[in-house]
């Protein structure tokens, strides 16, 4: 069952390609994500958000380098591109296409309230500048592009930092608006905030972050890592004097790598007055023990960017197997469709005046359970083969209504188009049925 992609919970997250992965990224995102990606009940989608990078970075070489470094880091840290979808956002042309469809169902006022945009406006106002000075439309549209990333792959769960929760809520709103107008096509995602993951302090004790310039790169050489660690701020207590674990950046970083026992041991050493130099040596050795085995593969990939390209392109091809038919379905839903299908669909548009088709479930003499979709003239639009239980037949109908195109692909030979019925007609029929159901549910509720 769990090998069936459609049954698994889809977990998706993106990484903006503007920087070099540091220990904070490793502890806060890479390590937990790689671990979670091994859960057979989930299907992971992890991608390099390089279109998003363009919003804040206009240095082409840096974006290219960061993309390579991030991809190599994730692979070296154990992400298996065979079992997850690992791709580069800009290799999926369906994403910008969906961005446009979502742009057209997103209120401008909603985007006015996005934190990142508002922060820029507030800053301008305080400085007495034009409110939109130096604000690109890219920054303004950031949440829509992110919505497309998520909705394109029908993600259920999106692990993000707290600062991104608002974006996930906006993606939900976009999905609802779209579904309301065009039928149930998009899946409403949920943000997942990992509470247990520690925020790692940086060299100066503040949160480790590129913007504070206090980071320790995940894959610096051993010697460089040692040098950086020796620069972590401490207080001025001499060897022999008891040290506080509370508020000690060194201790917190150690804790993120060490076992409970190792952490307790270091706490004891603090109480007994370990010298800062010795404590730093212990921290260095502990981190190096975890990072060293990954370093060889990282360096191998960094030295062979073509390998990373190939791996990402393969990931994109896999992702597009889902994205290409889905964007087709969405284009059709909004009316970007073959003109020849218009005569059918016009009659089926959700004016409410036209009778819509219905699913009929029944049992045959062979003891199996069947269904068919018939129009008002009893013409068969879609016919199933036998299911062993009525529940399975019902589930298949549910999936067809949720997401017609994908369900048809997944049901495969289990369903057959009626004689002379084309796919566009079928899609339009089910769309009409679903929107009628939605309308009815609404007028009741
Ligand atoms: N905005 C996210 C960040 O800065 C990166 C991102 C882009 C993303 N698209 C996404 C995260 C889709 C989750 C889902 O962290």
Establish whether residue 48 lines the binding site of ligand 1, counting it when its CB lies within 6 angstroms of any ligand atom: no
Which range has the worst mean pLDDT, 56-60, 147-151, 194-198, 333-337? Answer: 194-198
pLDDT confidence of residue 347: 46
The total of structural domains in the chain comes to 3
Evaluate whether 89 touches 13 at the Cβ level (below 8 Å): no
Closest among 211, 147, 158, 130 to 9, alpha carbons compared: 158
Residue 325 Cα to ligand 1 middle (Å): 24
Residue 147 Cα to ligand 1 middle (Å): 9
Range 320-355 burial, b when 16+ CB lie within 10 A, else e: bebbeebbbbbebbeeebeeebeebbeebebeeeee
Altogether, the residues listed in the chain come to a count of 445
Using only C-alpha atoms, what is the Rg of the chain?
A: 27
Residue 367 Cα to ligand 1 middle (Å): 50
Say yes or no: 227 and 102 in one domain: no
- Render pLDDT for 24-50 as a digit per residue (tens, 0 to 9): 999 999 999 999 999 999 999 999 999
Ligand 1, atom 6, lies closest to the CA of: 14
Establish whether residue 160 lines the binding site of ligand 1, counting it when its CB lies within 6 angstroms of any ligand atom: yes
pLDDT confidence of residue 441: 78
Residue range 314-321: mean pLDDT, rounded: 98
Say yes or no: 111 and 124 in one domain: yes
- Render pLDDT for 122-174 as a digit per residue (tens, 0 to 9): 999 999 999 999 999 999 999 999 999 999 999 999 999 888 999 999 999 99
Share of the chain above pLDDT 90, in %: 81
The total of other beta-carbon atoms located within 10 Å of residue 271's CB is 12
Asked, for residue 203, whether it belongs to a domain, the answer is no
Question: The domain spanning residue 224 has which CATH number?
Answer: 1.10.240.10
Nearest-5° angle of CA 374, CA 379, CA 380? 55
Q: Show the domain range for 412.
A: 337-444
Separation CA 338–CA 133 (nearest Å)? 43
Establish whether residue 14 lines the binding site of ligand 1, counting it when its CB lies within 6 angstroms of any ligand atom: yes
Establish whether residue 150 lines the binding site of ligand 1, counting it when its CB lies within 6 angstroms of any ligand atom: yes
Establish whether residue 164 lines the binding site of ligand 1, counting it when its CB lies within 6 angstroms of any ligand atom: yes
Say yes or no: 59 and 129 in one domain: yes
Residue 70 Cα to ligand 1 middle (Å): 14
Say yes or no: 186 and 70 in one domain: yes
Say yes or no: 186 and 290 in one domain: no
Establish whether residue 156 lines the binding site of ligand 1, counting it when its CB lies within 6 angstroms of any ligand atom: no
Evaluate whether 2 touches 8 at the Cβ level (below 8 Å): yes
pLDDT confidence of residue 421: 87
Asked, for residue 204, whether it belongs to a domain, the answer is no
Establish whether residue 149 lines the binding site of ligand 1, counting it when its CB lies within 6 angstroms of any ligand atom: yes
Asked, for residue 174, whether it belongs to a domain, the answer is yes
Separation CA 236–CA 4 (nearest Å)? 58
pLDDT confidence of residue 354: 45
Asked, for residue 23, whether it belongs to a domain, the answer is yes
Tell me the whole-structure pTM to 2 decimals: 0.77
């Amino acid at each position: 069952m769990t090998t069936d992609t459609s049954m698994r919970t889809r977990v998706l997250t993106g990484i903006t390609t503007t920087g070099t992965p540091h220990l904070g990224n490793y502890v806060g995102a890479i390590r937990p994500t790689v671990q979670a990606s091994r859960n057979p009940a989930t299907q992971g989608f992890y991608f390099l958000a390089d279109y998003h990078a363009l919003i804040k970075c206009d240095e082409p070489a840096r974006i290219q380098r960061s993309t390579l470094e991030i991809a190599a880091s994730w692979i070296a840290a154990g992400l298996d591109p065979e079992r997850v979808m690992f791709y580069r956002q800009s290799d999926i042309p369906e994403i910008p296409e969906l961005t446009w469809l979502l742009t057209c169902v997103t209120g401008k006022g909603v985007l006015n309230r996005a934190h990142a945009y508002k922060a820029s406006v507030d800053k301008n106002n305080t400085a007495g500048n034009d409110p939109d000075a130096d604000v690109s439309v890219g920054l303004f549209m950031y949440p829509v592009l992110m919505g497309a990333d998520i909705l394109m792959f029908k993600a259920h769960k999106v692990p993000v930092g707290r600062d991104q929760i608002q974006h996930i809520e906006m993606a939900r709103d976009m999905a609802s608006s779209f579904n309301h107008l065009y039928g149930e096509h998009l899946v409403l995602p949920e943000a997942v905030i990992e509470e247990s993951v520690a925020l790692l302090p940086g060299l100066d004790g503040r949160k480790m972050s590129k913007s504070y310039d206090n980071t320790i790169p995940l894959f610096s050489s051993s010697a460089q890592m040692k040098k950086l660690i020796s620069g972590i701020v401490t207080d001025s207590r001499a060897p022999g004097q008891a040290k506080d674990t509370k508020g000690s950046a060194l201790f917190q970083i150690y804790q993120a790598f060490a076992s409970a026992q190792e952490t307790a041991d270091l706490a004891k050493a603090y109480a007994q007055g370990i010298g800062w130099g010795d404590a730093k040596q212990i921290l260095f050795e502990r981190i190096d023990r975890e990072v060293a085995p990954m370093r060889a593969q990282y360096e191998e990939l960094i030295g062979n960017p073509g390998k990373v390209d190939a791996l990402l392109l393969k990931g994109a091809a896999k992702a597009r197997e889902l994205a290409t038919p889905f964007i087709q379905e969405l284009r059709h839903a909004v009316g970007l469709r073959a003109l020849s299908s218009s005569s059918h669909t016009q009659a089926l548009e959700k004016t409410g005046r036209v009778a819509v088709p219905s699913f009929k479930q029944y049992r045959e003499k062979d003891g199996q359970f069947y269904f068919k979709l018939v129009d008002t003239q009893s013409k068969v639009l879609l016919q199933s083969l036998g299911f062993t239980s009525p529940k399975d037949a019902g589930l298949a109908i549910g999936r067809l209504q949720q997401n017609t195109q994908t369900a048809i692909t997944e049901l495969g030979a289990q369903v057959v188009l009626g004689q002379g019925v084309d796919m566009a007609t079928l899609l339009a029929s089910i769309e009409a049925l679903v929107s009628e159901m939605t309308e009815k549910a609404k007028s009741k509720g």
